[in-house]
Structures are given as structure tokens and as C-alpha cells.
Structure 1
Amino acid sequence: MGLSDVNLETHFKEFDRKSMQRNVVSMFDDLLKIIESDEYDSHLRQCLEKASPGYLIHIAKRKKDILKSDHGIVIAVETSAGKSTLVNKILGIRVFKGRNMESTSTICKIRNSDKVIIKTELDNGEIDVKDMSNIDVKTKEGEKILRETLKNFTDMTIAKGSEKYKSVDVGLPVSFLKGNTILVDTPGIGGSETVSHKMKEYLPNAVSFIFVINVASAGGMQRDRLPEILKSIIDLQMDDEMPCFDPRSVIFVTNKWDSIIRDPDDSSEEDEVKNTWKQVTDSINECWPLVRNENIFKMNLTQVNKEENSKLEFNKFRKVLEMVVKENENIRIREHLRYLCTLLDDVCTGVRTRQELINRSREEQERKAKEHRMKIYELNSKCEKV
């Protein structure tokens, strides 16, 4: 398959996806027409409200949600927890340079693309596209060119004014990112108010999360930072602002365990690791009760290519991530169709119940009429005898 064939195939997939989105929205609109019609009276609407509370609000939110183009798996971390290192390991190339201070200034979306493209969007809505298909990111030189280019848009320690960018969209050959699922690199939790706001603003677009925790920093769970973000997500879900988000798919990567183990032969340090691991996992379970134990990882991200244990743990993480990506492919269309089917069942149940009552009334009338006919017959018979 040539490059033009790949582009054509991608174009048709995008066309199919948008067509399906429009069809689902159209089905919601058709159902609303039925519900709001004179035939579907106020009593039936009251019954539907009891079966599906707030259905009008939910329909409006879901019509808006399904038109979101991306299924974002958001990577959220506290500052200096190792986010850049994790993203680089996932992609297999060194796209971002890790720093020991707050550096990421904007939302960076990474998606699968047959060629390298950088699309930037300013806070004022202005969009610019930079075609970098002439570089080979599999080479050190291509890697460096891409990294240096991205710094100008995302790194506030290098480029003044990078905070003015609302988002940076990076297209790369990342085959495991299926459909329109993307990785979203966000500013660090606990950074400046401006960049933290960008991250919080993007939360409703997410279908899953990867939280990176620095165990060297007070056990990794700063009470006023990561738990606050977790609570924000729960609040959004309670308000039905994230209808396609499954809290069981969240991944926690605990990083920098090498900062605790300095001497492998020191038994006291082994105890410290056990105690810290228990403290971290207990805190995660307290803040996120639906977490799966197999979705909590203990890693030294800088040692993935050097230590066998770190490599094995990262490979386990990678498999779970790929599973999450697969589960979320076209999740919005599937989830909103499921809700539509449930709502349609409730509408049909109300109509069927009404029909049964009408039929029951007819049966009752026929029974009474039959009784009256029998009485009339009996009276006629008596009259004839008299």
C-alpha cells in the first residue's frame, strides 16, 4: 500500500467516523421529536422522567460529547514526576526533554499519523500546520529536529510566549494508537495557575488517564494536588460531563523508586520500600476506590533500558495501555448508542404499558357488556314466561 493509499484509507475512516457521529445525533433528534409530540402526552413524559431522570439534560450533553473528535488518554503528573520520560518510552523516541522544574506550558496531543505533522492552536483560535514529513524520527538527527521544534511550542523554560498556545497536535507513526485515540501530555499538577487551568479545562475530553506519581516526594500523593484532580474527575462524572469515561481503566505509574533504594544490600531500605509501596497503594485506593491492582505499576523509568526488572514492569504497563487504547476505540459512538437504546427501551415500555391499560379497559368493557347481555336475555326469558 503506497503513501497515497494510506492517506486515502485514513480519509475514508475519518469520513465514516464523522458520518456515524452525525447519524447518532440524528437518532437522538428523532427520538426527541417523538417524545415532544402530542401523541406522546405529558403522562408518558412523566413516566419516562421516572425511568430515566434528567433525560433531556443527558441527551443535550451526549449530543455535544459525541461530536468531540478525539478519545484522549490523558497523562497527568505532579511536577518532576517523570512524565516526559514516560511519554518518550511509550513512543520509543525521545520527543520531549525531561526537566526538574515545571516546563510543559500547554496541552500536547499525540496521534498516529503516517507522516510527521505539528498543528498548533493559539488561545485566540488561530491554527497553524507545520508539515515535517521530510524528517525521519527513527534517526537521532530526525529525533533532535522534532524535539527542538516542539520546545518552541511547549517548553516555557525555553520559549517565551509558549503559554499562549491552547494546544499542540503532533502526528507521528504510533501504530498502537487505534482510530482517533490519542495520548495527551498535560502541564504538571501543581504548576502555575495558567497552565494548570489548561489541564483542568481538558479533563472532560478524556476517556482514560495515566497518573505518574513521584514516590520520592512525600510518598507521591500530595494531598492538595493529585487528589484534587481525582476529585475534579469524579465531580465531572457525577454531572455526566464524562459519559464515556470508565474509572476502572485509570492507570497509576509510581516512579523514582531508585531514589529510595540506594544500597540493595541494606535490609532497612527494603523495609522502607515495602512501607512506601503500602502507603502509596493505600492512598491510591483511598482516592480512587475503583482502581484495579494490576493497573498500579512500580517503575524506575530512567532505568527501563538498563534494568531487567524495570524493563519487565514497563512491558506490563505497555500491554495494559494498549488494552485501554483498544477498549476506547470508537468508545463515544458505542457508549452513546448504548444510552440511546436504553432510553428507547424506556420510551417503548411506557407506550406498551399505556397500550396494555387500553387493552385491559377494552376487555373489561367487553366483559361488562357480556354480563349485561346475559341479564337482558334472562329478563326477556322471564317476560316471555309471564
Structure 2
Amino acid sequence: MLQKKMVLTLYHDLESFLKSEDFENDLKENLEISHPNYLKNLERRKKDMQKSDHAIVVAGETSAGKSTLINKILGKRIFKGDNLESTGTICKIRNSERIALSVEHMSGEKEVKDLTDTCDLETKEGIENLRKTLNDLTNMTDSKKSVQLKSVDIGFPVPFLKGDTILVDTPGIGGSGDVAQKVMEYLPNAVSFVFVINVGSAGGMQNDRLPKILKSLVILGIQNEMPCFDPKDVLFVTNKWDTITSCDSDSEEEDRQKEKTWKDVKCKIEKQWCAVQQKNIFKMSLKEVNTFQFSIDLSMR
């Protein structure tokens, strides 16, 4: 927090100097040539520093396995998975000593529920109570209320989410509503971006869905709106490999089919996101993973 205040003070002092009469005109002209709109960009960076939350954003197609991935990361089955479009609301998970939900309505109205006494996450019953409460608020197949909510903020002990870092679960791309717009609200100040892909769906990449998000990311980068993570650090989790089976019982043929799909999906990812690193493309069947250790660099700027 002290470092953040120091950086904000530096931004303020620099901005004051650049606007002052002491800043020589010839230097100002050279700066405008080398860094057009420098004052506007400086203002963006200052506002960015003032934001309280820094998100690890998890996105992907409908039913790709985003909620399952987050459950594995948290080590608890907090979210209910569904084969249909399930998560209809942005869910933000943050580290908190107490277990509480903060619900934000589309109108901007907020309500807070303290669940510490009824949701002991060290017990199976407590986890089930929290999961049911979240499901009632966010699952579009079970509840119509989720459509009316902008976001649900979930607080409980998550030690790896240090400081103001939050984990964001987003609605599936390709479902109802403008999901891309919802996701984009969190990307400018994100510290990491994870995209989950269902390899059992059209070879793993829906051409009319994934490019929309990735194109928006590129535009943000061009506009200097996304300073928090490097494009080459974006993570792609390819999921549901257990659904790829051969039409016959030949295991060798099934292996060849999976290898072909793997090459195809990597090629499509590289085409849509040229900055991707091979080491950041993961291959797994999340439902078959018992304990999932997912290391993310949470260092602040």
C-alpha cells in the first residue's frame, strides 16, 4: 500500500511538472513527437493505479470448464458445473477472513451477506451451503435472478490471492448477453488472463467466439489500456480431452485422433494469439484431476 501511494505521488508530481511553465517548449515538442498524447496516457496510468482490484480473469466458451478450473485452483467445489450455459453473472473471488457475499445489481445497488456462521468451508456441509447460495444467484439454468445481477463478490480465506488480487469467473462466450463486454470491464486492470477451451467442441475453437475476445485484447493493447500483463503470458487451458474418442475401439486410432486435435488447436491458438508461448498451452481433462496446482505470478506492478 505504501509503494502504491509513492507511485501515485510520483505520477502526480510528474503530471504537475509537465503542465507547468517550467517545462520548456522545445522539450515539450520533442515529447509530443516521441510520445503522442503523453498527458492522456499518464492520466490513464494514474487511474489504473488507483483501482483497488487486480484480476486474474478466467474466460472461455460456454461449458468449456471455467468453473471446474476455478474449483480445482481453490481446492474446493464452490461452483456448480453444468453442461448447459450455467454462470450468468460475473463472479469475483477474493481473500477474506470472513465468508461473505456482496451482490451488485444492475441498478448499482449492493447487498452484503455474511455467511461465516453457516458456511464453514472446512466441512462438506459448509461447502455445500455456499455452493447452493452461489448457484441460486448465478446459475442461469436453475435461477432467473442471476440475469438481473451485475456481479457477485465472494470473500473467504484464499491465501494465494494476496493484497487486492481477485479471481474472476466470467459467463461463457457464446451464451446469452454481451459476455465480451462484461469480460472487457476487468481486462484493462488484470494481472493475468486464462482462456479455457473445450476441445470436444468443433475441434476446440469456435471461429465466431474466441476471436472476438482476443481481438478486443489486441485493441486494448494498441490503445495502451492494458498495462498489467504481457500478451505472451496469456494462458490457454485446453479441456475435455476425455470426450475425444474414435468411432471404433482402436486405442491407437484414438491416440492419433487426439494428437491431430492437439496440433490443430495449437495452430488455431497461435493464429489467433501470435504472442502465445507453447509452455502456456495446457492439455488436460479437468474432471479427472484430483489436485490441480496452478502457479500464477501474482506480483504487482
Name the TM-score class by shorter chain.
Answer: over 0.9
Change (3 A) 1:129 1:151: same
Residue in structure 2 matched with residue 170 of structure 1 by the alignment:
154
Q: Is the 8 A contact 1:105 1:195 kept in 2?
A: no
Residue in structure 2 matched with residue 124 of structure 1 by the alignment:
107
Residue in structure 2 matched with residue 46 of structure 1 by the alignment:
29
Unaligned runs of 5+ in 2: none
The 3-state SS of whatever aligns with 2:297 is helix
1:330 Cα offset (Å) = 2.2
The 3-state SS of whatever aligns with 1:324 is coil
1:196 Cα offset (Å) = 4.5
Q: Is the 8 A contact 1:179 1:330 kept in 2?
A: no
Change (3 A) 1:196 1:323: closer
Unaligned runs of 5+ in 1: 1-16, 306-310, 332-386
1:54 Cα offset (Å) = 2.2
C-alpha distance in structure 2 between counterparts of 1:286 and 1:296, whole Å: 13
Matched, 1:276 2:249: no
Matched, 1:32 2:8: no
Length-normalised TM-score, structure 1: 0.73
C-alpha distance in structure 2 between counterparts of 1:290 and 1:133, whole Å: 43
C-alpha distance in structure 2 between counterparts of 1:264 and 1:110, whole Å: 43
Residue in structure 1 matched with residue 276 of structure 2 by the alignment:
291
Residue in structure 1 matched with residue 87 of structure 2 by the alignment:
104
Equivalent residue runs for 1:130-145 within 5 Å? 130-134=113-117, 135-145=119-129
Residue in structure 2 matched with residue 212 of structure 1 by the alignment:
196
Q: Is the 8 A contact 1:78 1:212 kept in 2?
A: yes
C-alpha distance in structure 2 between counterparts of 1:161 and 1:136, whole Å: 25
The 3-state SS of whatever aligns with 2:211 is helix
The 3-state SS of whatever aligns with 1:193 is coil
C-alpha distance in structure 1 between counterparts of 2:4 and 2:241, whole Å: 44
Residue in structure 1 matched with residue 297 of structure 2 by the alignment:
324
Matched, 1:180 2:180: no
What amino acid does structure 1 have at the position aligned with 2:166?
I
How many residues matched? 299
Residue in structure 2 matched with residue 5 of structure 1 by the alignment:
none
C-alpha distance in structure 1 between counterparts of 2:278 and 2:178, whole Å: 34
Residue in structure 2 matched with residue 383 of structure 1 by the alignment:
none
Structure with the largest fraction of helix: 1
Larger Rg: 1
Q: Is the 8 A contact 1:112 1:173 kept in 2?
A: yes
What are the superposed Cα offsets for residues 35-59 of structure 1, whole Å, 9 maximum, x if unpaired?
A: 2222223222112223333211111
Q: Is the 8 A contact 2:180 2:213 kept in 1?
A: no
Length-normalised TM-score, structure 2: 0.93
What are the superposed Cα offsets for residues 285-334 of structure 1, whole Å, 9 maximum, x if unpaired?
A: 111122121111111111113xxxxx6xx44xx1xxx2323xxx322xxx
The 3-state SS of whatever aligns with 2:21 is coil
How many percent of aligned residue pairs carry the same amino acid?
54
The 3-state SS of whatever aligns with 2:191 is strand
1:194 Cα offset (Å) = 4.2
Residue in structure 2 matched with residue 343 of structure 1 by the alignment:
none
The 3-state SS of whatever aligns with 2:151 is strand
What are the superposed Cα offsets for residues 242-276 of structure 1, whole Å, 9 maximum, x if unpaired?
A: 11221122111101111114678521111111110
Correspondent of 1:221 among 182, 205, 213? 205
What are the superposed Cα offsets for residues 353-374 of structure 1, whole Å, 9 maximum, x if unpaired?
A: xxxxxxxxxxxxxxxxxxxxxx
RMSD of aligned residue pairs (Cα, Å): 1.8
- The runs of at least 4 aligned residues of structure 1 exceeding 6 Å deviation read none
Residue in structure 1 matched with residue 184 of structure 2 by the alignment:
200
